[in-house]
Amino acid sequence: MLLLRLCVAGTLFWIGIAHYTLWPSWFTAAAIVLAAGLCLGLLTPYCACLCCLIELRAAILPGPEGEFSSVLPIVNAIVVAMIGPGAYSLDSHLFGRQLLTLPYRNTRRSL
């Protein structure tokens, strides 16, 4: 999870720097702050959802960056949002590790 978060954050940081002249300065700053939040694992699902929106915006832009190759970072951001921060994150230290336990259901039917 740490490596996946770092990959998504690195992609977002690269997108923020690459579109520095095309986007407003606050939008670029938001992309860099979100990348830092993903690196640290702070509010990871929210940062990943916003990261996905920024990467969608970058994919829609005309030019060489708006290609099909932008789909993989979007999918990675969706995966990070769905899976969560992982063990090595600030979220796990602030909120504790979460474990999903499903109730046991007997599927056998007796005759």
- Note the pLDDT tens digit of each residue in 4-41: 888 888 888 887 777 667 677 787 888 888 889 888 88
Global pTM value? 0.72
- Note the pLDDT tens digit of each residue in 78-101: 888 888 888 888 878 788 776 767
Amino acid identity for residue 27 in this structure = F
Q: What angle do CA 35, 39, 44 make, to 5 degrees?
A: 80
- Cβ–Cβ under 8 Å, residues 31 and 15: yes
- Note the pLDDT tens digit of each residue in 61-70: 766 555 566 7
What are the tokens at 14?
A: 């690269």
> What is the pLDDT at residue 66?
52
Burial, 3: exposed, middle or buried (Cβ in 10 Å; 0-12, 13-18, 19+)? exposed
